[in-house]
Amino acid sequence: MAAVPAVRSPSPAERRLADGLGRRDEAALGDLHALCGRTVMGFLVRTLGNRATAEDVFQQVFLEAWQRGPTYDPGRASPLTWIMAIARSRGIDQLRKRVPEPRDPAGSLALLEGEGRGDAVVDELIERWRFAHLLGQLPEQEADVLRRRFYAGATQTEIADSTGMPLGTVKMRMVQGLGRLRDMLDAEERGA
Amino acid sequence: MNERLSDYLLGELEGTDRERFEAELARDPALAAEAERLRPVVTRLESLDRSAWELPEAPALPPITPREPAAAPERERRPAWWRRALVVRPLAAATLAVVLLALGVGAGLLLGGDGGDGGDDGAAGGRVVALDPVEPLGGAASGTATISAKDGRATVNVRGLPPSAKGDFYELWLLNTPDDLVSLGSFRVPASGDADVTVPLPANPDAFAALDVSVEPPDGNPAHSSRSVLRAPLAPA
């Protein structure tokens, strides 16, 4: 675990996004929504287990991003890392609210954190959804072979048969997709 | 590219084919390094939650264009009868909360900081509005309020407020003009600067221009202090 985040070199698109958020430009919030909205929503639905509640918290997350926009520094975190940190906080808040009343004097937080539904679990989910977000950034051809292999469970030969692609092409796209994912993971983790 | 690399990483090489490839890895450090670089990605993909492959559609963004903010009320503008009727002070709020909870109503005014909404479904179905800082006291504070007219309550989450000084407290208001406002309840903010509060709605929020948070001194005066820290415009649902 890296204790001190390295200073990262944001991409031009990230800088534009940060500038827009800093100016409270509504279009920038729209860009952030387009870039990360589905990942944030997926994380919240999975974490909170209820779509209606997740939608409420989703709105809180983006309102908070709007409010905090001028403080976002792309040199410290990618947009995804930044907004997922907000989603994590609001998700944990929501989980804490669900502890039935009356409250246990020993602390409802202990119930969440001691029974496997606490911060560590949420952090694990965050990591999975960050990864899922990166999958969504892959070129479609590479994402497709990865999806067929790791989601549908097809072998490379079966992928070639079902798509009509030469087997060599399937293998090439598989390795390219894995390599691109690794590069994106490295870039994210350097900046996280 | 070595086509056998993907076979190897995906476990599709067996028997002598696998042994031959592992011998090749031993002879080729660059190929071995690439295999080691990609292996963790395969592991993560294999353990990925199935739902992560099908990201849900994101809900639309909440409305963020602020309306013209309501003017801060001046102190001592309301008639005495109105103050007595509508303002809930900390001691009375605590008493009321205990009574309501005892009756199983599950709603009350939560004093003391970390709050909670006492509901299983949280703010589901409510309308969410952003609380923006009011200068000069709001600073970097922020917050959201989820207004559930159906449940007759509002849940307010505030972040980055100065912790309550001794005796001071924060008060929530529905606000139109200095002469037209309703107190919803009061709360204190702990050292973290964050607080979550749920309050009953004694009036229709659609009839007010703003939800307001003020800081109030312990002077026994039930009027708005004119020291607002956060405010959200209330567009009709």
pLDDT digits (tens, 9 = 90+) for B130-178: 899 888 888 889 999 888 877 778 888 899 898 888 778 888 888 887 7
Q: Which residues of B63-96 are buried (b: 16+ CB within 10 A; e: fewer)?
A: eeeeeebbebbeeeebeeebeeebbbbbeebbeb
Claim to verify: residue B224 and residue B140 sit in the same structural domain: yes
Clarify whether residues B112 and B227 are in a common domain: yes
At B98, list the tokens: 């205990």
Residue B62 and residue B159: Cα distance in Å, rounded?
19
Chain mean position to CA A94: 18
CA distance B197 to B108: 9
- Do residues B127 and B144 touch, judged by C-beta distance below 8 A? no
Domain with CATH 1.10.10 in chain A: 138-192
Nearest by CB to residue A56, choosing from B12, B44, B126, is B126
My answer on whether B39 and B114 are in the same domain is no
- Report the predicted TM-score, pTM, of the whole model to 2 decimal places: 0.55
Best of B2, B34, B44, B196 to disrupt the A interface (most A CBs within 10 Å) is B44
Query: Which chain B residue has its CA at the smallest distance from A185's CA?
Result: B41
Domain check: are B171 and B106 in the same one? yes
A147 and B3 within 8 Å at the Cβ level: the answer is no
- What range does the domain containing B16 cover? 3-53
Quote the number of domains for chain B. 2
Q: Average pLDDT of chain B?
A: 74
Instruction: Compute CA B75 distance to the chain's CA centroid, rounded to the nearest angstrom.
Output: 30
- C-alpha–C-alpha distance, residues B13 and A72, integer Å: 47
CATH number assigned to the domain comprising residue B95? 2.60.40
User: Which CATH code for domain A1-137?
Assistant: 1.10.1740.10
- Give the domain-ending residue among B16, B35, B53: B53
Are residues B144 and A60, on separate chains, in Cβ contact within 8 Å? yes
CB contact under 8 A, B3 and A131: no
In a domain, B150, yes or no: yes
> Contact A181/B64, CB-based, under 8 Å?
no
More confident call, A191 vs A154: A154
Do residue B20 and residue B99 come from a single domain? no
Q: Test A178 with B59 for CB contact under 8 angstroms.
A: no
Rounded to a whole number of angstroms, the distance between the first and last alpha carbons of chain A is: 11
Class of domain A138-192: mainly alpha
- Let me know whether B137 and B215 are in one domain: yes
The pLDDT of residue B74: 53
Nearest Cα neighbor of A36 from A8, A6, A58 is A58
Asked if B214 contacts B224 with a C-beta cutoff of 8 angstroms, the reply is: yes
B89 part of a folded domain: yes
> d(Cα B130, Cα A90) in Å, to the nearest integer?
14
- The verdict on residue B170 lying in a domain is yes
Residue with tokens 């948070």: B213
pLDDT of residue B221: 67
Half-sphere exposure of B140 (CA within 13 A, CB side): 7
Based on the fold, state whether residues B150 and B112 are members of the same structural domain. yes
- List, in order, residues 6 or more apart from A142 with CB less than 8 Å away: A173, A174, A176, A177, A180
A65-79, A90-104, B203-217: least confident range? A90-104
B97 and B144 in a single domain? The answer is yes
Q: Where in chain A is the domain with CATH 1.10.1740.10?
A: 1-137
What's the pLDDT score for residue B72? 56
Within-domain flag for B64: no
Q: What percent of chain B has pLDDT over 90?
A: 19
Interface contacts (A, B; CB < 8 Å):
160
Kindly provide the ipTM of the predicted complex, given to two decimals. Answer: 0.72
Are the C-beta atoms of B229 and B138 separated by less than 8 Å?
yes
Does B110 lie in the same domain as B15? Answer: no
Strand order in the sheet with B127-133: B180-187, B169-177, B210-216, B228-233, B127-133, B142-148, B153-159, B195-200
Residue length, chain A?
A: 192
Q: Which of A103-107, B61-65, B67-71, B185-189 has the highest mean pLDDT?
A: B185-189
Q: Looking at the structure, tell me whether residues B15 and B126 fall in a common domain.
A: no
Residue at B71 is within a domain: no
